[in-house]
Structure 1
Amino acid sequence: MSRIAARFAALRQAGRGALIPYLEAGDPDLDTAAAILRGMPGAGADLIEIGVPFTDPMADGPTIQAASKRGLLAGATLGRTLSMVASFREHDVDTPIILMGYLNPIDSYGPARFCADAGRAGVDGLIVVDLPSEEADLLENHAAEHGLDIIRLVAPTTDEVRLPTVLQGSSGFIYYVSITGVTGTRTASEADLVLALPNLRKATDLPVAIGFGIRTPAQAAAAVRVADGAVVASALIETLAKSLDRHGQAGPDTVSLVLDQVRMLAEGVRTARVGAQVKEIVA
């Protein structure tokens, strides 16, 4: 069983959902990003998503675009991102790590070499935003060989005809993009999510995590009342950005401010189903 599957199974047994916070590799510098990563499990992260900086992050809104630019300026590369994960694994062998990024850096690195190095570093899953299902054979065999889950994005516009193709070869969990548009722009309501998830649940037994637009503990709680996990990205990046000095350098409280926010989000997720009627979405 993969780390991702094991973590979701344990959370299901405990009767709660997962908090999946996001950080951008190298933002605002390599050491600060590594410190945030090391602190996230203790602050309540159940799984962690790491963004790989890229010059054309087409699915991301202005907040994560700016984080990607800061990461690139700080020297973040795909190789250095893997090194950051490897260093994290020296102290944490349990928390699942998912890399989120775009195909161009992987293609340049070499898909076979990338999957081998990612598996060796301790990466558990990959979200490749611009890799269509029809071309997933570029990664699928290499990923499977090295124990990497390929996590698919499903959007509100993914209809029942398209859904089986999108889900083919997926593993780990499904990332449900709760809005149409880019990250960090708006938020879906709990009512929207309750209506949207039944068709997805019918099509897959994999856990479902909701992302794009989750910003507050209350919104994260709403997500895990109808799904298995909540991904929080832009809100954490905004907190980091506000802590930087006028030169874009980390402040003395940058790490602690981000981790404090993770703790608040974790509290929302961990108490979401306590004393509440959980809206079960069943096939």
Structure 2
Amino acid sequence: MFAGRRVLLTGAAQGIGLALARALSAKGARLFLTDRAGPDLDRVARDLGAGVFAVDLRDPGQIATLVSRAQEALGGIDMLISNAGFARGAMDGPCSAPDDQWQDSWDLHVMAHLRAARLVLPEMRKRGEGWLVNVASAAGLLSQIGDAPYSASKHAAVSLAQSLAIEHGDEGIHVSVVCPLYVATPLLGYEADGAERPKGVLTPEAVADSVLQGLTEARFLILPHPEAADFARRRAADMDRWIAGMRRLRREAFADGAPHDLSELHRRI
């Protein structure tokens, strides 16, 4: 399925994006990678023999240039994997996060995927085949305590993926959204491979394997942590009870004072 496929992958320098780049390369995919400029991105591209162009995905003009360069380098794009993301935390509640944090979350987690999809869809629709993959989060099905901008934008990312699947599925466009719980990435303070991690925190490589399996099975919702489906069902069945449970979980996590950041918070939950 992946051999020879032309893939544009964002957020490829570390974490899940890096694991996906390596897994896809091993399957014979042809890659064009992007992330913030830096030696990590250049090294990954060099190691995998991939095309590369560093951009700020909050900027529509830079996205247009990225897609154009990827199309030129690969001769077209079969699969767009929008993986880039960030989380700064908002430990004092939704209103504590400044407007620029909310805007950056919206631009990177939602609009970057939409803007790139606009540019790759015409070619895919004409061909009658293509893949749009949005790496969101289980926070888009539930809610992340301590980071409302992340949760809200990831909810929107899941909704956008649903709309794309509904509108373009009959045209041969496969749409998937990936919603992991906690993953051992630099976003949560895991800088080194093999670092000790709490139970339930997956490696990026495990997530990448889950993604490739989900794409092979043409699944829309890919859950590297299967338990997220149970959590989502409980929330849908009784929202008031779910919120009460989340409030209790927050009280327990903040019992000894507010965590400094998400890397500390996830170890308390």
TM-score normalised according to structure 2 size: 0.36
Larger radius of gyration: 2
- Taking CA–CA contacts closer than 8 Å with sequence separation of 6 or more, which of the two structures ends up with the larger relative contact order? 1
Q: Answer 1 or 2: which has greater helix percent.
A: 2
